Amino acid sequence: MRNDVLLATGFKKMDETVTKFQGYQFIGQVNYRRELIASVKNLNPDIVLVSDMLSGTEDLTDILSRIKMEKPSIRILYMTVAPNANDVPRVMALGSLVLAGIYPFLIEKSVTPTQIQYAMENPVRREDVEFLLKYHKKASEKNNSLFELEEELEQDDVEEDGYKNVFNISSIKPGTGKSFISVNLSTIVAKYGKKKDGKAPRVALVEADLQNLSLGTLLSIEDDKYNLKTAMEKIATIVNDKGDLSDDMEKVESVNRFVLECFRPYHKVKNLFVLTGSKLTMEEIENIQPFQYIYLVELIANEFDIVFIDTNSSLAHVTTYPLLRLATKTYYVLNLDFNNVRNNTRYKTTLENLEILHKVEYILNEDYVPEYMKMYGVEEPEELVFTAEHVRDSDFNLAGTLPMIPKSVFLNRLYSAEPIVLDETGAPYTLLPRLEFARIANQIWEIDNLEWLEKEYEKQKEEFSDGKKRKGFFSR
């Protein structure tokens, strides 16, 4: 049995003491948090001994969760001070590690070499730290004091299935196009969603990726008075750290009105309302708590026909797990990066352990579609080896695939704050992306222009294959 140990305690005296333990091979030492992931990949240890004293400002719980996701068999002995029971953010962060399969070694005031050696020989058990999950569990339970405001909404299956009109867009790492997809899905449902009783659907889009605030930028919505920060500050005045609602119903109603006012309409699609935080700094949002998002979702689920939430990419983030529980479905965004697909495959085990895998579907972004690319004059020098078919064969439940969009088109739409689904016939090279967004959105809410888009794309393919307009067919 291998017992290769990577030291990442950030405490020289502790490292010197631990290296004297018998039965272990100490294969390396890490001095900075930013180096930890790369060191684990390069050295492939059996045990990582880590503490909060490791230098750096990076989120250690996020780093450890990523390591565990990529290397599930590794044992992480995380030494940390036992949290105060009333320190909700800290308990939630440690609880997220427990959910990821990392069981912290909690230290009251000090620790002896004997205690460290015992912990290395006798791994901390889940039941030893189960209490760290109390707020996570509470987030997934019905809170009677909050639900009194939501009597009109069917809630029979909220605990198990989430709110039927709430959908998350997420990913296991930044940079996969999550926010781009969130914006386009919400816009197409608002713009082309089938009217009911003569009314277009009221659609909400919520900024919950607190490490990458971008929805307001993508839609050119910025407001100093009505935004993510001011909404959450108001909610904090009526919901305490334990999730209990104020008895002052007049104050509650006032806060509810203000929070709903914080959802600003998108100027091109007036029935799309967005809660943004793009102008905020990380310091301005650091005090946002999971209970504030829980209350927010419970409020808006009854106010809007459809709610889309752009979530944080890290399961270790305190807001992520509650939002996964509250939504009826979460779309995880993939791409054709083979490493990304492998990591998502590993991540399924975590989602299954959290009992939410049954609510997860996947969207393949930046799919390689040679026929479509040739239409606007792009041909790759090599045939792609790992394709969308391989992703489907990897047992991913794909809700849809989105083609790789010409870079200039993508950047221009970002700059003009116009989602690509709003393109008209003057931009034929965006027809396939618009069609694929409509197909995915149609699974959520019936889309009026889906049939038209399908016919138009078939017509384009016929014209291209027949040689009509072949020269400069989609010239830019």
Q: Answer yes or no: do 322 and 405 share one domain.
A: yes
| Whole-number average pLDDT of the chain | 86
**Do 124 and 179 lie in a common domain?**
no
User: Residues 168-216: pLDDT tens digits?
Assistant: 999 988 888 999 999 999 999 999 999 998 899 999 999 988 777 789 8
What is the rounded distance in angstroms from the CA atom of residue 451 to the CA atom of residue 417? 26
Residue 103's CATH number: 3.40.50.2300
476 falls within a domain: no
**89 and 154 within one domain:** no
Residue 308 lies in a domain: yes
Residue 192 lies in a domain: yes
Tell me, yes or no, whether 113 and 178 share the same domain: no
Q: What pLDDT sits at residue 357? A: 92
Residues paired with 50 in a beta bridge = 8, 78
Same domain? 293 vs 393 = yes
Q: What is the CATH number of the domain that holds 257?
A: 3.40.50.300
Please determine, for residue 349, whether its predicted confidence score (pLDDT) is greater than 60.
Answer: yes
Looking at the chain, how many residues does it have? Answer: 476
Shared domain for 375 and 324, answered yes or no, is yes
CA distances 451 to 21, 455, 460, Å, are: 69, 6, 14
pLDDT, mean of residues 44-51: 94
Last residue of a domain, one of 111, 138, 165: 138
Whether 349 and 279 share a structural domain = yes
Distance CA 176, CA 347 (A): 16
| Sign of the dihedral through C-alpha 188, 366, 453, 442 | negative
Using one digit for the tens of pLDDT, what is the confidence trace for 364-407?
A: 999 988 888 887 777 778 888 998 899 988 889 999 999 998 88
Within a domain: 107: yes
| Percent of the chain residues topping a pLDDT of 70 | 90
Residue 379 buriedness (CB in 10 A; 0-12 / 13-18 / 19+)? exposed
**Is it the case that residue 475 has pLDDT exceeding 70?**
no
150 assigned to some structural domain: yes
User: In 10 A of CB 281, how many CB atoms?
Assistant: 10
Mean pLDDT of 319-346: 90
Which range has highest mean pLDDT (123-137, 187-201, 339-353)?
187-201
The pLDDT-based confidence of 425 (bands split at 50, 70, 90) is low
Least confident among 83-87, 391-395, 424-428, 457-461: 424-428
Contact indicator for 47, 121 with CB cutoff of 8 Å: no
**Given pLDDT bands bounded at 50, 70 and 90, which one contains residue 243?**
confident
- 457, burial (CB in 10 Å: exposed 0-12, middle 13-18, buried 19+): middle
The string of pLDDT tens digits covering residues 288-326 is: 777 888 889 999 998 999 999 999 887 777 678 888 889
Q: Which residue has the tokens 């320190």?
A: 87
For residues 274 and 219, is the Cβ–Cβ distance under 8 A? yes
- The yes-or-no verdict on residue 154 having pLDDT over 50 is no
Q: Indicate the pLDDT class of residue 153, thresholds 50, 70 and 90.
A: very low
Which of residues 104, 138, 172 is at a domain's end? 138
- Which is nearest to 271 in space by CA: 228, 245, 305? 305
Q: Evaluate if residue 73 carries a pLDDT over 90.
A: no
Residue where one domain finishes, among candidates 103, 118, 138: 138
**CB-CB contact of 25 with 4 (8 Å):** yes
Residue 346: exposure state from Cβ atoms within 10 A (0-12, 13-18, ≥19): middle
Please choose, from the candidates 272, 132, 116, the residue with its C-alpha nearest in 3D space to the C-alpha of residue 191.
Answer: 272
Do 184 and 323 share a structural domain? yes
**Domain ranges, residue 104:** 4-138
Identify whether 474 is part of a domain.
Answer: no
In the prediction, which pLDDT does 148 show? 42
pLDDT of residue 57: 85
Please tell me the predicted confidence (pLDDT) of residue 360.
95
Do 252 and 393 lie in one domain? The reply is yes
Structure tokens at 439: 């197909």
pLDDT at 272 > cutoff 80 = yes
- The pLDDT assigned to 467 comes to 65
Domain count, the chain: 2
Same domain assignment for residues 47 and 76: yes
Lowest mean pLDDT across 110-114, 445-449, 451-455: 110-114
Contact 177, 365 (CB under 8 A): yes
- Looking at the structure, tell me whether residues 406 and 341 fall in a common domain: yes
Structure confidence at residue 382 (pLDDT):
86
Kindly state whether residue 473 falls inside one of the protein's structural domains: no
Tokens of 212: 């990458």
> Are residue 133 and residue 149 in the same domain, yes or no?
no
Give residue 49's pLDDT: 95
Q: Is residue 472 part of a domain?
A: no
Beta strands across the sheet bearing 398-403: 264-266, 269-275, 203-208, 306-311, 163-170, 327-334, 360-367, 398-403
